[in-house]
Amino acid sequence: MKDIKQYIRVGTEYLKEINLPLISGDSTKIYSKWNKQTIIDDFGRDALNKIRKYEGFCIIPSHLEYKKEVNNFINRYEPLSYEISENGKWENIELFLRHIFMEQYDIGLDYLTILWKHPIQILPILCLVSSERNTGKSTFLKLLKLIFEGNMTINKNEDFRSRFNSDWASKLIIAIDEVLLDKKEDSERIKNLSTSGHYKSESKGVDKAEIEFFGKFILCSNNEENFIKTDNKEIRYWVRKVEPFTTENPNLLEMMKDEIPKFIWFLTHREIKTKRTTRMWFTKEQIHTKALDVLVKGNKTYTEKELESFIIDQFQTLELDELCYSANDLVEELNKANIRVAKSYITSVITEHFKLESKNSCYKLSRLDLSTANNGSWSVYQENRKGRFFTFRKEDFIK
């Protein structure tokens, strides 16, 4: 049935609010451009005076005090279709979240509580990884989609790399399933976006427009070792390895869907246990996992691994807290192990992966002095040298 209340005018454009059918059987409300003359044909010219008029669009995310209209602007952050129930059981969601977050269950609940109560708060990039099947990674994304509905999007790798980003730039959650963003520019872009307050949104045939960005990234991957570029200094990734279910429940998602109104009541009234101490709320130590170590190690090249192994070995052998080497010194040491590598590459590895800067001055090159053998022990010989060198600290290589 035609209803003039379905139409609005934003600026000089006429739009119609329509229900777009989804594969799930549900629908989502969207605004579609509508021709002014078509409205006149359907309702008559006088109907134009009954159409609500707005200055433009805005994006104000809120779940507790949501407003569709803000100062004569239409809020593009979408309202949720369900009503929050009184306190009740959500045992299937609890079991599922304990499976996903395991020993970090409370941090996982804090993460979801912050998403719900403080949607503009910067959060870590959550990564769920496992090379095994039937782990629940995709089900986790589907559960969040049921909770946040149109304010979450599940993308593919090519969607993220596309310059046209208006379909996801204004979402609360940007999830990428089966992620493989193995280029350095991918990693830099996603890291910068995760802490950025503004971003340029772009659509086909439309000029770029700067918007406030509050999106949170969630990545899922079957590749545990190198689905994205990172290094051992990284503080933004929260990587969790998810184990497979012991038994499969094909109805789990539907069972959890029925519990969402009760679960949201719980999140609304829950106190966040983790104190906010960083701009991403959680500290590096709080979200550190063995899965992150696997990712960092998997990002290292053969040469980088050999170089790190040599430096660790020297710390353990020489029992010093600091070691100084030039790029040429390290090339010579790796050559002794039949590893042929260019000086420029060694410099690149040290500056980009170890995050060290060289200094041009005098330094001491430390080695074992085999001529000072005494009852099976060796002394350390330090040779004075001059040139551009790097200083390695034991605490950065041996924890």
Let me know: does 332 contact 344? Beta carbons within 8 Å.
Answer: no
CATH code assigned at 127: 3.40.50.300
User: Are both 133 and 240 inside the same structural domain?
Assistant: yes
State the Cα angle at 11 between 10 and 16, rounded to 5°.
25
Look up tokens 């983790």; give the residue. 274
Q: Per-residue confidence at 305, pLDDT binned at 50, 70, 90?
A: confident
User: Are both 267 and 318 inside the same structural domain?
Assistant: no
User: Are both 133 and 193 inside the same structural domain?
Assistant: yes
Task: Give CA–CA dist 81/148, Å, rounded.
Answer: 10
The Cβ of residue 83 has, within 10 Å, a number of other Cβ atoms equal to 7
Is a pLDDT exceeding 70 seen at residue 92?
A: yes
User: Are both 201 and 134 inside the same structural domain?
Assistant: yes
Is a pLDDT exceeding 70 seen at residue 306?
A: yes
**Measured in Å, how far apart are the chain's first and last C-alpha atoms?**
69
Which tokens belong to 324?
Answer: 């100084």
User: Are both 102 and 194 inside the same structural domain?
Assistant: yes
Is a pLDDT exceeding 60 seen at residue 205?
A: no
User: Are both 230 and 352 inside the same structural domain?
Assistant: no
CA distances from 191 to 124, 213, 221 (A): 9, 13, 17
Residues in the chain: 399
Strands 7-10 and 13-21, sheet pairing: antiparallel
Whether residue 239 lies inside any domain: the answer is: yes
Which tokens belong to 380?
Answer: 């350390």
Q: Which residue has the higher pLDDT, 195 or 347?
A: 347
Is a pLDDT exceeding 90 seen at residue 219?
A: yes
Q: What is the pLDDT of residues 238-285, one digit of tens each?
A: 999 999 999 889 999 999 999 999 999 999 999 999 999 999 999 999
Final residue of a domain: which of 24, 51, 75? Answer: 75
Final residue of a domain: which of 280, 297, 314? Answer: 297
Final residue of a domain: which of 267, 282, 297? Answer: 297
Is a pLDDT exceeding 70 seen at residue 204?
A: no
pLDDT of residue 168: 77
User: Are both 109 and 128 inside the same structural domain?
Assistant: yes
Is a pLDDT exceeding 70 seen at residue 200?
A: no
Is a pLDDT exceeding 60 seen at residue 203?
A: no
User: For the chain, how many structural domains are there in total?
Assistant: 3
Q: Which residues on adjacent β-strands are paired with residue 42?
A: none
Task: Give CA–CA dist 75/31, Å, rounded.
Answer: 12
Q: Per-residue confidence at 202, pLDDT binned at 50, 70, 90?
A: low
Look up tokens 């330094």; give the residue. 363
pTM of the model: 0.78
Is a pLDDT exceeding 90 seen at residue 22?
A: no
Mean pLDDT of 65-81: 92
Q: What is the pLDDT of residues 355-391, one digit of tens each?
A: 899 999 999 999 887 665 555 567 788 899 999 999 9
User: Are both 279 and 339 inside the same structural domain?
Assistant: no
Whether residue 82 lies inside any domain: the answer is: no
- Identify the domain containing residue 377 by its residue range: 300-396
pLDDT of residue 49: 92
Task: Give CA–CA dist 237/285, Å, rounded.
Answer: 11
Q: What is the pLDDT of residues 323-344, one digit of tens each?
A: 999 999 999 999 888 888 889 9
Is a pLDDT exceeding 80 seen at residue 233?
A: no
Which tokens belong to 143?
Answer: 């559960």
Q: Nearest CA to 159 among 146, 149, 168, 172?
A: 168
User: Are both 250 and 189 inside the same structural domain?
Assistant: yes
User: Are both 9 and 115 inside the same structural domain?
Assistant: no
Q: What is the pLDDT of residues 137-192, one digit of tens each?
A: 999 999 999 999 989 988 877 767 666 666 777 899 999 888 777 677 777 887 77
Task: Give CA–CA dist 195/236, Å, rounded.
Answer: 9
In single-letter form, the type of residue at position 92 comes to N
Q: What share of the chain is helix, strand, coil (3-state, %, to 5)?
A: 35, 25, 35
Task: Give CA–CA dist 191/203, Å, rounded.
Answer: 22
pLDDT of residue 370: 66
User: Are both 151 and 288 inside the same structural domain?
Assistant: yes
CA-derived radius of gyration, the chain: 28
User: Are both 100 and 201 inside the same structural domain?
Assistant: yes
In eight-state DSSP terms, residue 223 is -
Whether residue 109 lies inside any domain: the answer is: yes
Let me know: does 25 contact 40? Beta carbons within 8 Å.
Answer: no
pLDDT of residue 27: 67
Task: Give CA–CA dist 14/28, Å, rounded.
Answer: 19
Whether residue 115 lies inside any domain: the answer is: yes
CA distances from 330 to 145, 334, 371 (A): 51, 6, 23
pLDDT of residue 338: 85
Which tokens belong to 135?
Answer: 């782990």
Let me know: does 344 contact 330? Beta carbons within 8 Å.
Answer: no
Whether residue 86 lies inside any domain: the answer is: no
